[in-house]
Structure formats: C-alpha cells, structure tokens
Structure 1
Amino acid sequence: MVDGNSSCPEEPVAVYNISLGFTAAVPEWEALLTIFTLTMIIILTVIGNILVILSVFTHKPLRIVQNFFIVSLAVADLTVAILVLPLNVAYSILGRWVFGIHVCKMWLTSDVMCCTASILNLCAIALDRFWAITDPINYAQKRTLKRVLLMIAGVWILSLIISSPPLIGWNDWPEPDVFEKESICKLTERQGYVIYSSLGSFFIPLFIMTIVYVQIFIATRRRLRERAQASKISAILSKNPVKSSNKHQNQDRESVSSETNHNETEHAINKSKDKRARKAKKKRKSENENNEKSIYLKPVLVREDSFTDNADCSSGSQRKNSLNPCTSDKDVIPNTTSTSVKSESPQSKIVSCKPTPPPEIIPKKPGVVYQFIEEKQRISLSKERRAARTLGIIMGVFVVCWLPFFLMYVINPFCSSCCPSGRLINFITWLGYINSALNPIIYTIFNLDFRRAFKKLLGMRP
C-alpha cells in the first residue's frame, strides 16, 4: 500500500543519472542497494509461497482440508509479490509514476485487495484453529471441503468489497490531465474510506485474532491439565492387574504355609483352595470389566485429537508396534525343531507370532492399550502446542509488520501537520509487504511437515 498526505508541502524531486541507463530520485548507490534488497524480498516471497502451495498438494501429510486456508494465504502473498511489489520498486526508485492513470488505479486496487486478503486469511486460519480446539468433535463434522472453500471465497469477496469503492468514485484522485503533470500515484485520503478500509483490512481482523489466540491459549492449557490427570489415572489402572496378581500369589504362599504347619486334612485343603480360586476368579473378572470400561472411555480423547491435529502420520509406526502382539515376550515362540548350530545366531533364529487379535479383543490387554493411548495423547498435545505457538508467532509478526503502516495510514488524513518523508513512507510500506515473505519462513521453521515437504521439493536430504 502507498500512502501520502496532500496537505504536506511537496518534496523537491532530485534527478540522478544511473549507470544502468535511467534517471532516479535517489543517488546511484542507494538506487542499486534498494533494487537489490527489494528484488531479493520479491524473489523470496515468490519462491516461499510457491513452495507452500506445492507442499500442500504434493506432500500427503499436508493434503488435508484445513490446509486450504494456508494455500489461500500463500496465493494472496504470491499475488502481492507479482502484481504489487515490482511496480512499487520502480515507483520508489524513479520517484514518479510513469505507467499511466489506469495502471495506477488497478495497481492501488490490487494492492489493497491482496494485502487485505492476506490479513483476512490469517484471521480465517486463527478461527479455524480456535473451533478445532474448543469444539473438536462437532467442528470436525462441519469442517468439510465445501465449508472451507466457502470461507475462502468469503475472504476474497470481502477483500474485493473493501478495495473496490475508490474505483466507483469514493476517492480523491486527480483528473487525468493533472495526474499526468504530477505523476503521483497514491491511496485515496478520503477520511471516510480510510476509516472503512483500515477497519476492514486490519483493525477488526487484529481484534478477532487477538481474542481467538487468547482463547486458544486458555483452551490448550486446560487440555494439558486434563491430559495430565488422565495420564495419572491410566498409569494407576494399568498397574492394578500386576498388584492383584502379586496379592493372590502371596495369599497362596501364606495358605500353603498355614496348611503345612497345622497339618490340615486333605478335604479341608481342597475346600479352601476351591473357595480361594472362586474368589480370585470373581475378583479378576470384576477388575477386567472395570479396565474395559475405563479403556472404552479413553478413545474419546484420542478421537478428539485426531480432529485437531494437522496431520498424524508420524505416529503410524508407533501405533503399529504398540498393537502388535509380537512385541510381548510371551507371544514370541522360538522354533525348536531346527538342529542346526547356525540357528543359535540372532540372524538365523526363527520365531513365530500369535495371530493378531481383532480390535475388539485389544482392551483385554490393558497395558498395551494404555501405552498406546498415552503415546497418542502425548503426540497430540505436542502438536497442539506447536500449532498454537506457530499461530502466535504468525500473529506477532503480522502485528509488527502491518501496525506501523495502518497507524500512518489512519493518522495522516486527520493530521495536517504530520508529514513523513518519502523514505519513511517507503520503509513502513515495505515493512508491511515483508509479512508476505515471512509467512512461509515461519511454516518452514515451526512445522515439521512443511519442513520435510520443502526439503523434498528442493531436492535436499530430509
């Protein structure tokens, strides 16, 4: 976005001959440094956002419906880099607009629309994450491809509504003949439109994102406490069968000792054993029923996490190993039919496994199931923390990049004595543009799946 204040005295435009064959409004060293720096920002923005788009469509763990919001954000940032930034570089170096009034109008409209779409997409991502964490089961049913595409379409339509009023007359642009003389292309300073566009493009989305992020932080902390309590209960229940078994063994030892010392009759011994056996069997049956009930209650949390995770492929092998009965020592049966000496080596040792039990039998092994549930909860909570942290960083970078511009954009039309220099205006404007380059970098650093996808697309080792 480009800003200025018509009430300020015009700065004299100096003319410097550049060795590249054109005249500029800044010295040659500053022009070359500016061109190099801004060109690198444009290239970084283009490459980074193209990688984000390709990653979602080519990397399977990222091919999930909620990542279409990220694709929409990357498209908005990419259009900023392609449609807006190159013309801004030329305008900053030349100090005058040389592309005509019609290109100026389309450039300013594209500038407002693309930057607004980028900001509103960040807001949509925050809302999606908020609903996924606070109401995971219900929202998972609502988060369909149609719903996500409708939300994305709403973001772009709203961006068009915010950016288009100057094209239909809500502006203070000069007449074509005056425009040709002044060669200045800047956003309209109509006070009504400034308030309207700044609220829709920045301040309302900022307010929504702040409230949403605070709620996400509170919800994540609450879930962490709940999971910690659930893990403690799981650990206690998983230890009960062992304690019960030891208790029965001790009772048997004590009873045998008592029978030996008192020389009880055979009939009394058998009767006592039968009674203890019935009691032990009844107690074990009761414990198993309780364990089954507690196990069946746990998958509610697991199911909830699967809806809120971005992707849960990293724990696939762990789940497979956790539920494989061959991981238990008592399920591995050495082959004793081979008489070869070589069979003693680990490489040639033949083992056979018991058949894999169907899912409904898994709760009969509470230790394995509790271990699986705890591992699933740990992975899910780790992803929740990372996602919330990434969202917070994205929002923080967004505020740092765009807040200075929108403060200047709102203050200038209402402050006749506020006259920022051209260099300051360019710096604050490009600080906002840099947000489009930083978003894919944030994904690369803080999201493992995006990092892997980027490395794969760039031909680097994962």
Structure 2
Amino acid sequence: MFCYGNDSCARTVYPVTVRAALYVVLGSAVVLTVLGNLFVIVAIAHFKQLHTPTNYLTLSLAVTDLLLGVLVMLPGMSESIENCWYFGVMFCKLYNCSTVLLCTASILNLSFISIDRYYAVCHPMLYPCKITVHTAVFMILVTWCVSSLVGFGMFIRKTNISGIVSFYIPGVIMLGIYLKIYMVAQRQVHTIGLENTSSSKVDKHQRKATKTLAIIMGVFLSFWAPFFILNIIDPFISYAVPPALFDTFVWLGYLNSTINPLVYAFFYSWFRKASQKLLKRKAFQLMGGNSKKLVHK
C-alpha cells in the first residue's frame, strides 16, 4: 500500500488495535508535554518572587518544550502512526524546520543555563553583577535568533548543519562547564565542612539548583544522543537503518520535553509550592463561580 498522493512511498499499515494503542500512548505524551510546560510557564510568570535570571532561562526552555509539543509532537504523532504525511509538501518543510529550530533552542537554553550555574557556583561574588535580568534576556534573544537561523536555514538554503550546531558542539561545551562546576562544588563542600552559616546554606542551595539543572541537561543529552548518533552512522551503512528505529529514537528525543516538568516537580520545591497555590486558587475561583450561580438562581 502507498501513501495518499505519493505512489513512490511505501506505507506500512499497523493493525487497528496497535494504532489505537499508539494514539493513546503518544497522545498522552503530547497532553502531558503541553500541560506540564504550561504549568511551569504560568508559575514563573505569575509569581514575582520567581522572576530571577535563572528562572527566565527556565521559562524559555519551558516555552520551547511547549511549542515542541504543539508544533512537532502533535503532527508527528499522525505521521508516526499512519506512516504517511498527509499535510502537504510546504507544511512538511515547515514541520522539519520547526523540529530543528526547537531542538536547537532547547540545547542553547541549557547551554546558557549552564553558564548561569557556572557563575553562581564558581564565581558567587560576581554572579549578581554578571548574570542580571538583562543578561538573561540577551541570552534568550541569542537562543531564539540562532535557533531560527539554523532551523529556517534548512528551508531557505537547504543546508543541514543542525547536528553539529544543535547537539554536538553545545553538548561538549555543557559537559565541560558542568565538570568544572562539579569540581568547584566539591572543593566548596570540603572547605565549608559542617559549618552551619548563612553562607553555607546559600552555597548548599546553589549546589542543589546546579544538581537539578545538571540532571535536566543529562536527560536531554541521553534522550537525544541515540538519534544524533544514528543520524551520523546511517550514511556509512548505506542508509540501512529501519525507519521504525529512526522514528523510535526521534520520539525518545521528543519525550525529553515531557520529562522536564516532571524533573521540576520532583526536585524544585518552588515549583511544587507554586503549582499547589495555582491549583488552590483555581479551585476557589470555581467554587466561588458556582456559588454565585446558585445565589443568582
């Protein structure tokens, strides 16, 4: 059987039960990605005490993950399950560009977050003047401008350097930065010892935040590395990698955007508290709205 409108593209048709199960699983991943990252965005935007340079960078990462859920995972779900693209050539190109753009934005956001953590842990005295809100905004602008250039460069010039720019170079740089942070943090632990001062508490908080963001970076590299490695190997084996395996590794990368809010919820007390307050406020609003309706009646 062939794809609709394309007699040269063979199509694999899954049994109805398999397709239904895939729609449930992948659809749930899309919903979790959108709702989880939306919660992060609302929490940081709503509470003024969360308006810090680090959280602005985290906000940019959450926006990236949210857009990936809507613009990439949603149409990609149909392509993966139906084994065919039904949305036309132009939208296919925009879809591929959006995938590269958002993947690049994710790792550039993480790169700037690693720089933020480097100054926070390695140069705490310089941190307040080096990493300001204006600095964070500049980092975010650079992230989205470079990502747009890489993503839409594929569309305009038909070039494909996304693997080098989007993954390998930033990945190596981030690993180097976090290795340096780890070494400095270990020295700080040894120096501070068991002192119970306000300074040591601040250092402990910074190390915990750094550990959490290092986990987020590690998750990103782990989830996307199989796809990018396979993408390099494939030409050397005459493009013999099965499409299903490629598709599986692509979705493994997409699921990184689903996991990030769960990491925030598990490791960040501010995110848990903000979420609880937002949910309680929403519940009170609903109860208030219902009571007004009852009184009106």
Residues 373-412 of structure 1: matches in 2 within 5 Å? 374-412=196-234
Counterpart residue identity of residue 63, structure 1: H
Residues 84-123 of structure 1: matches in 2 within 5 Å? 84-123=72-111
Identity over aligned residues, as a percent? 35
Partner of 1:227 in structure 2? Answer: 192
1:79 to 67, 74, 79: 67
The answer as to 2:264 corresponding to 1:446 is: no
Q: How many Å separate the matches in 2 of 1:387 and 1:64?
A: 13
Residues 12-411 of structure 1: matches in 2 within 5 Å? 12-14=10-12, 25-170=13-158, 193=160, 196-228=161-193, 231=195, 374-411=196-233
Are 2:223 and 2:255, in contact at CA under 8 Å, matched by a contact in 1? yes
Q: How many Å separate the matches in 2 of 1:211 and 1:37?
A: 36
1:1-38 Cα deviation digits (max 9, x unpaired): xxxxxxxxx98424xxxxxxxxxx21111111111111
Are 1:61 and 1:449, in contact at CA under 8 Å, matched by a contact in 2? no
The answer as to 2:252 corresponding to 1:423 is: no
- Structure 1 runs of 4+ aligned residues shifted over 4 Å read none
Q: How many Å separate the matches in 2 of 1:156 and 1:11?
A: 35
SS in 2 for 1:160: helix
1:201-255 Cα deviation digits (max 9, x unpaired): 00111101111111111111111222228x3xxxxxxxxxxxxxxxxxxxxxxxx
Q: How many Å separate the matches in 1 of 2:99 and 2:243?
A: 18
With normalisation by structure 2, the TM-score equals 0.87
Are 1:76 and 1:114, in contact at CA under 8 Å, matched by a contact in 2? yes
CA RMSD of aligned residues (A): 2.0
Give aligned pairs, total: 275
SS in 2 for 1:98: coil
Q: How many Å separate the matches in 1 of 2:21 and 2:279?
A: 28
SS in 2 for 1:201: helix
With normalisation by structure 1, the TM-score equals 0.57
Larger Rg over CA atoms: 1
Q: How many Å separate the matches in 1 of 2:221 and 2:54?
A: 23
Counterpart residue identity of residue 164, structure 2: L
Q: How many Å separate the matches in 1 of 2:51 and 2:157?
A: 43
1:35-58 Cα deviation digits (max 9, x unpaired): 111111111111111111111122
Could you tell me how far 1:99 is from its partner in structure 2? 0.9
1:455 to 248, 253, 276: 276
Q: How many Å separate the matches in 1 of 2:37 and 2:213?
A: 17
Partner of 1:436 in structure 2? Answer: 257
Unpaired runs of 5+ residues, structure 1, are 1-9, 15-24, 172-192, 232-373
Q: How many Å separate the matches in 1 of 2:80 and 2:143?
A: 30
1:163-182 Cα deviation digits (max 9, x unpaired): 122222325xxxxxxxxxxx
Could you tell me how far 1:77 is from its partner in structure 2? 0.5
Q: How many Å separate the matches in 2 of 1:128 and 1:218?
A: 16
Q: How many Å separate the matches in 1 of 2:240 and 2:276?
A: 46
